[in-house]
């Protein structure tokens, strides 16, 4: 099963402040954009909801009906002035046309790596360019590829346990049954085991995650080819240099005027 089929478990494993400084980083950019922003791969709203709670209008686009269903439930529990600020759209970030432009388009938490081929990645960059207001920014983050984690590995790695609200635990382990070092693509299989407060196993399942990886200079080139220029490339959300951190956090701008949302060049 794809991990997106269980947004409830996703939320248990990824609390709102999962990456230090992440939500504040996107909020600061959204404030500078000064208008509605577009989040690609919105998921259940971990980042976008923080922006909406801080007065930003957010369009949240995601491919998964299940993740968006959970996002709707989460929004329903917010005060109306917050939930009103979020509009959800079910679509692929490689193929969307919202008919409007934004001062900021952002794709947090490595979601760009879900685009498997370079064609899809480039299609996404073109859709982003078409949806950016003149001078608008495109920001996001994904991990710096760790050479030790790229090849296939069948030995199970235990990632640790997360406490659940009922006093139980969710234990996560994973392995990588397939990796393509030329196409830069890997399949990760996670086992999630949920125990109740008495230590009894109540659920065990396999969850699949498929993703690519992108090197720093490859990313710079991809952006450049699609008409963007990098404004910032950092190693994390706390201002680390690329050498100090293990994430790529970037902010880019489009060169020249936006082609506009209806253009499919």
Ligand X SMILES: C[S@@+](CC[C@H](N)C(=O)[O-])C[C@H]1O[C@@H](n2cnc3c(N)ncnc32)[C@H](O)[C@@H]1O
Question: By the criterion CB under 6 A, which residues form the site for ligand X?
Answer: 4, 14, 41-43, 46-47, 62-64, 67, 92-94, 108-109, 111, 114-115
C-beta closer to ligand X: residue 44 or 258: 44
C-beta closer to ligand X: residue 195 or 245: 245
Strands (E), the chain: 37-40, 58-62, 86-90, 102-107, 132-143, 153-163, 169-180, 185-195, 201-212, 228-234, 247-254
206 in Cβ contact with 1 (< 8 Å): yes
Of 173, 148, 157, which is closest to residue 246 (Cα–Cα)?
A: 148
**Least CB distance from residue 92 to ligand X, whole Å?**
4
Q: Bin 99: left if φ > 0, else alpha if -120 < ψ < 50, else beta.
A: left
C-beta closer to ligand X: residue 45 or 235: 45
Distance of CA 154 to the CA centre of its chain: 26
C-beta closer to ligand X: residue 39 or 234: 39
**Least CB distance from residue 238 to ligand X, whole Å?**
17
**Least CB distance from residue 51 to ligand X, whole Å?**
11
C-beta closer to ligand X: residue 38 or 41: 41
Of 132, 195, 172, 215, which is closest to residue 13 (Cα–Cα)?
A: 172
**Least CB distance from residue 70 to ligand X, whole Å?**
9
**How far is residue 167's CA from residue 42's CA, in Å, rounded to a whole number?**
28
C-beta closer to ligand X: residue 70 or 101: 70
**How far is residue 63's CA from residue 76's CA, in Å, rounded to a whole number?**
20
**Least CB distance from residue 78 to ligand X, whole Å?**
16
Residue number with the smallest Cβ distance to ligand X: 43
**Least CB distance from residue 125 to ligand X, whole Å?**
13
């Amino acid at each position: 099963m794809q991990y997106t089929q269980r947004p409830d478990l996703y939320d248990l494993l990824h609390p709102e402040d999962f990456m230090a400084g992440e939500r504040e980083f996107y909020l600061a950019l959204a404030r500078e954009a000064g208008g509605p922003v577009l989040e690609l791969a919105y998921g259940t709203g971990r980042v976008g909801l923080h922006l909406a709670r801080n007065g930003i209008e957010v369009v949240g686009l995601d491919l998964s009906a299940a993740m968006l269903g959970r996002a709707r439930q989460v929004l329903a529990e917010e005060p109306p002035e917050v939930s009103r600020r979020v509009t959800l759209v079910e679509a692929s970030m490689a193929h969307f046309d919202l008919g409007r432009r934004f001062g900021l388009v952002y794709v947090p938490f490595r979601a760009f790596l879900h685009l498997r081929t370079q064609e899809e990645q480039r299609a996404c960059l073109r859709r982003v360019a078409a949806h950016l207001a003149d001078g608008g920014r495109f920001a996001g983050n994904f991990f710096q590829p760790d050479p030790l984690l790229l090849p296939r590995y069948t030995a199970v790695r235990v990632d640790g346990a997360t406490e659940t609200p009922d006093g139980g635990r969710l234990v996560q382990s994973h392995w990588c049954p397939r990796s393509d070092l030329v196409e830069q693509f890997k399949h990760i299989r996670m086992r999630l085991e949920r125990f109740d407060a008495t230590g009894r196993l109540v659920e065990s399942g396999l969850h699949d995650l498929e993703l690519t990886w992108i090197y720093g200079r490859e990313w710079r080139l991809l952006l450049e080819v699609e008409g963007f220029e990098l404004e910032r490339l950092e190693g994390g959300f706390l201002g680390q240099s690329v050498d100090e951190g293990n994430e790529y956090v970037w902010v880019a701008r489009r060169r020249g005027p936006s082609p506009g949302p209806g253009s499919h060049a």
